[in-house]
Structure 1
Amino acid sequence: MRVSTVCAAAVSLAACGPVSASSPAQPQQHVMINPDLTQSAGRSTEIGVGHFSEWSRETKRQFLIDWQAGKSSEWIIVQGNEGGDLDSMTAALTWAYHLQHSTANSTNPVKAIALLQTPTDALDLRPENKLALDNSLMSSGHSDLLTLDELPEDPQTLSDDIKGIIIVDHPVPLRKWSNAEILSIFDHHKDSGAGPDAHPRIFEKVASCTTLVARQMLDELESLPEEYHLPHELLELILSAIAIDSGGLKDATDEDRKIAERVLRRSNWRGADLEDKMGELDDQLGDAKKDLDHLGVRDLLRRDWKGDLVDTPSPRTPTVSLGFSSIPYSFEDQIEKTEFGELFDWFAIEAAWTAQVGADISVALNKYKVRDQTGKKRKIREIVLCVRKDVRIDEEQADDLFRTVSKAIEKEESLNAKPWHRASELGRRQMVWTHERSDAGRKVIRPIIEAAVEAWDM
């Protein structure tokens, strides 16, 4: 469902009227509008008119109006992790929608907005997100969504002004939000002790964090004197997030399955069989997720980048910036994607990216499959480590930090990491290992490296 709106960026905050919470269904249209003045010349946008799209766009508009008026203190920011996957994005949008609508008729209505902690131009690096948002009739170009690069103020400053933050799909806030009060946490990872007074504060092992958010939403919705409207677009987005994180329910917990059933019965897919529908969604989104061959090395590095400052006992360097990429290609295949198809070019691209984000240490976690002599597929993983000397640490420190992290990786018996077959060609403070621990993605490797950095003292 799309319709044109002619609101240029210069007048949109004042001229676009409020969106009705009960807009009637209209025939689907695809009408191109004038490009927003903040966008590149020649770009145009299809504006969604489904209730969910309208709510999201209007919430973004009102947030920016209030910021301009010095009323940021009235707002809660619901934020996922900086990787910006479908689960993180959906959980944030769902809870922001619930907070607004469940309190709309109360004496204390809540102003809440979902923040995607990724730049706008990085959102399409996850094709599954683009497909799910398009299926939910959201505006093209993600103009309905508030992204990190659209914040009108630095997070460190803004966190002092807002009412607070709610974290979804992540156990702790990024350091730049550390000044904000943590009001609630929903996560399916390990509890790190952040926000002890947050409410609700939910840590539970499920396939999808969206399961936890949707359960809380439905429980609270069903206890209201009168239920608010849940748009089918949001319900279907929730099902999409649970489907892709649970492998179409094949890897689901009982709770994932139970909540998916509750959501399905409220959606436009209510007549479908749960297993069939979730399998279908997983197939569609999974195919989209794998469509990455057109991406270059820089985009592969940044599409699932997660990083933050790590405290150290070093009096010279009390914090170090550490970042991780997850890339579904072998290192050799990535080298082939570079302009010159050579080893040095990959590291030049990596250096340009980490210089941009100010990372001292970067770790690329690669995974791919090979066939053995019997024709059976084996999963291979690689760890690519790089340490810079020009951000917070000098050359002597960089060498020592590189040795410290390398030793931590090589001493981890569960990895049994082996030097890459071309390790002798690597430059200073560069290393690549291979290993075959199938579950050793970021959740396994990150704590090993963070622990080494937290103990580093030079």
Structure 2
Amino acid sequence: MVKKNPLRRLSVALRLTEAYQPAQSPDSMMNAPSLNQFLTDAKASYLKDVKEDPTKAAAWTVVMGNEAGGVWSLSSLERLTESFADLDTLASSIAYAWILSEVDKVLSVPLLPMERADLSLRAENLHALKMAGLSEDALLTLTELADFRPQKFALVDHNRLGPTYDPNAEVVAIIDHHHDEGFYLNANPRTISPCGSSASLVAALLPPEPPAELCTLLLTAVLLDTDGLKPGGKATDVDRSSALFVATKSTISNSIPPLSALSPIDNPDPDALYDAQAIKDLVSTLTLKKTDVSHLGGFDLLRRDYKEYTHPLPWVPSQPAIKVGLSTVPARLKAWGSDGRLEKDAVEWMRRRGLTILGVLTTFRDTKGKMLGKSGKHGKHKREMAWIILQETEMEQISAKGLTIDTLANRLFASLEADTEIEVKKHKKFDVEKSSHLPPKAKVKVYKQGNAQATRKAIAPLVKKTLESTGPSDSTAESGKEGPASKY
């Protein structure tokens, strides 16, 4: 009797590929090159075409994850390098490029939207690559592309190209777990489904016998994004089923109980892997590497895990737009931002990116106490946030058209303070409102965040709603007077 792969049922249920049928038989996969060799060959062939025949290069499908801060300026071909692929983006792009190339026989190459010199900013990525037997030299980064801009993309871990890309570029496929922004409706597949990790959705497209190294890479991403498949946490059934499949095919499969011991084939236990010691050990190692940023200064911390947004302001008569950045930093403010360092590094970063607003979102554990929390980790999980608004760049022009920095600041701060999900209160031990290290007219507030479970995925929509909503706040914006916080 042939064993059923639970992921095949999952793939059909999610309509990932309309009952995915691999172009190659399982036997043909036996002759496929190693994952590292695939990456090396794909990178070399693609760059050869880029150099010798841009027309041929434009036919390649470039699989790219979340590019965060952008890549190219269309007007000057200037590369914007502030983008640092996280592990989900890294694993998803490599895995989907392998599927396209080795299974569907489509010319494809994964691209990490970052400079090669910045690979070291994410130690967890390097550890996952090492576990998968992959060389950093085999990866394609922006450093190797010079001024060439790809024309055909498959997007993973996001579903919209940034505004700095060629607007005529074609998006042929999307696999993502974020909010659907409604673009590229002809992409095939176009899978945008909520779950803990995009790597889980990609794993559902693997053939029955994928490379063990690729399964290891995907497993690390799923585990890190779901806190080790913690029950009641971020993990969905998609994440658990995918993790169960790739774990038993990975290079660490000998370290975990057999699939039959973990879960029945036809009725998989959704939490089967969570208690496996090898999984717990791997999650602990990845988490420690991700949170160890002791070697980084404030400027690198701000750009290490960064997302950027452009928000129109319909409540201002001229209806301008401003740029907002959100940086997630895995260390308390006092550890790296005291004595004016936060203000200096933040202002430098904001000026480089042309930001009007920067939100610095910290996440850390209070290690003063030695008690173990429910998670088995030392210290209570805490979050802080610092917000800086500059009277520079776009604001100087916008101010002459009906908006002042005071109006913008009051609107943002009132919205944050009124929100019942994030539960902020003024940070009395890190007060920089009167800092001498800020430019004139700049506005800043620092909060402690009561709800430590509210991540950037909760903060970003709140900021979007605050800045882009019309309604009661229109009149206060036009008059320059602020209404009560409840209006925001």
Is TM more than 0.5 here? yes
Q: Does 1:425 align with 2:434?
A: yes
Q: Does 1:146 align with 2:147?
A: no
What residue is the counterpart of 1:203 in the other structure? 192
Once the 2 structures are TM-superposed, how far is the Cα of residue 439 of structure 1 from its aligned partner?
1.8
What SS is found at the alignment partner of 1:265?
helix
Once the 2 structures are TM-superposed, how far is the Cα of residue 60 of structure 1 from its aligned partner?
1.8
Q: Distance in 2 between matches of 1:414 and 1:269?
A: 39
Once the 2 structures are TM-superposed, how far is the Cα of residue 361 of structure 1 from its aligned partner?
1.9
What SS is found at the alignment partner of 2:228?
coil
1:79-111 CA-partner distances (Å, limit 9, x unpaired): 11135211111001100111011133xxxxx22
Distance change in 2, residues 1:329/1:270 (3 Å): closer
Once the 2 structures are TM-superposed, how far is the Cα of residue 362 of structure 1 from its aligned partner?
1.3
User: Which amino acid in the other structure matches residue 388 of structure 2?
Assistant: C
What SS is found at the alignment partner of 1:306?
strand
What residue is the counterpart of 1:124 in the other structure? 120
Distance change in 2, residues 1:198/1:66 (3 Å): same
Q: Normalised by the size of structure 2, how large is the TM-score?
A: 0.71
Q: Distance in 2 between matches of 1:179 and 1:452?
A: 31
User: Which amino acid in the other structure matches residue 148 of structure 1?
Assistant: L
Match of 1:443 among 451, 457, 464: 457
Distance change in 2, residues 1:424/1:347 (3 Å): closer
Once the 2 structures are TM-superposed, how far is the Cα of residue 373 of structure 1 from its aligned partner?
9.5
What SS is found at the alignment partner of 1:175?
coil
- Bigger mean CA deviation after superposition, 316-325 or 301-310: 316-325
Q: Distance in 1 between matches of 2:335 and 2:404?
A: 28
What residue is the counterpart of 1:35 in the other structure? none
Distance change in 2, residues 1:413/1:54 (3 Å): same
Q: Does 1:169 align with 2:136?
A: no
User: Which amino acid in the other structure matches residue 173 of structure 1?
Assistant: L
What residue is the counterpart of 2:86 in the other structure? 85
- Bigger mean CA deviation after superposition, 187-196 or 207-216: 187-196
Once superposed, which parts of structure 1, at least 4 consecutive aligned residues long, lie more than 6 Å away?
Answer: 21-24, 371-376
What residue is the counterpart of 2:202 in the other structure? 213
1:131 and 1:285 in contact (8 A); partners too: yes
Distance change in 2, residues 1:401/1:424 (3 Å): closer
What residue is the counterpart of 1:285 in the other structure? 286
Once the 2 structures are TM-superposed, how far is the Cα of residue 114 of structure 1 from its aligned partner?
1.5
1:122 and 1:302 in contact (8 A); partners too: no
Q: Distance in 2 between matches of 1:151 and 1:321?
A: 27
User: Which amino acid in the other structure matches residue 157 of structure 2?
Assistant: D
What SS is found at the alignment partner of 1:393?
helix
Q: Distance in 2 between matches of 1:115 and 1:315?
A: 41
Distance change in 2, residues 1:182/1:287 (3 Å): same
What residue is the counterpart of 2:327 in the other structure? 325
Match of 2:342 among 343, 346, 356: 346
1:175 and 1:309 in contact (8 A); partners too: no
Once the 2 structures are TM-superposed, how far is the Cα of residue 309 of structure 1 from its aligned partner?
2.7
What SS is found at the alignment partner of 1:359?
coil
- Bigger mean CA deviation after superposition, 240-249 or 447-456: 447-456
How do residues 184-333 of structure 1 correspond to structure 2 at under 5 angstroms?
184-216=173-205, 218=206, 221-222=207-208, 230-251=210-231, 252-271=235-254, 272-273=256-257, 274=273, 275-313=276-314, 318-333=320-335
Runs of 5+ unmatched residues, structure 2? 1-28, 69-83, 258-272, 374-378, 471-476, 479-488
Q: Distance in 1 between matches of 2:195 and 2:279?
A: 16
% identity of equivalent residues: 27
1:22 and 1:51 in contact (8 A); partners too: no
Q: Normalised by the size of structure 1, how large is the TM-score?
A: 0.76
What residue is the counterpart of 2:104 in the other structure? 103
1:240 and 1:278 in contact (8 A); partners too: no
Once the 2 structures are TM-superposed, how far is the Cα of residue 215 of structure 1 from its aligned partner?
0.4
